[in-house]
Amino acid sequence: MMQGNKISDPTINAVCMVALYMKLNAIQIFRSHNFDITPEQFGILWLLYEDGCLYQRQLSQRLFKDRANITRMINILEKRELVCRKEDAHNKRIHKIYLTEEGIKKVESIVPALKQIEKYVYNNISEEEKSTLIKILGKILVNLESKVTIQI
């Protein structure tokens, strides 16, 4: 519930603060290691690393970024030779995005540093607490997803 301009529900406040601090920790790690890409750009690389290739629209939907932002980030990553675009075999107007060998190396060099976050995120949290947290956040996610009507 809202009181004035403040969110008074401590759970919502805690989730928002955790999300903010996760992002700030990622930015800090990227800067301290001089990775020369942003955490948002890494999001694209990571999804491509996991899936092999994706369309720009899929990247946009999965990262909750509008297509203009995704296009701009892909352009930057392509100039750095971390990704490449290839025409779709069935529709020449759209392109699939692939990681290059250099992109694969970049992802594999960043992942170990990001694992640092995991170590201190779960410090003093038991496996049972972690499991409970995942279940509760999963339920909250389902509740929120059902209310989203905008398309990215």
Task: Summarize pLDDT for 32-58 with one digit per residue, the tens.
Answer: 999 999 999 999 999 999 999 999 999
Q: Do residues 42 and 30 lie in contact, with contact meaning Cβ atoms separated by under 8 Å? A: yes
Q: Do residues 106 and 73 lie in contact, with contact meaning Cβ atoms separated by under 8 Å? A: no
Q: Which CATH number fits domain 37-145: 3.40.50.1000, 1.10.10.10, 3.40.1190.20, 3.90.79.10?
A: 1.10.10.10
Which residues, in sequence order, are CB contacts of 15 under 8 Å at separation 6+?
137, 140
Q: Which two tokens stand for residue 14?
A: 């805690």
Please give the model's pTM, rounded to 2 decimal places: 0.82
Query: What residue segments make up the domains of the chain, in order of their start?
Result: 37-145
Task: Summarize pLDDT for 56-91 with one digit per residue, the tens.
Answer: 999 998 998 998 999 999 999 999 999 999 988 888
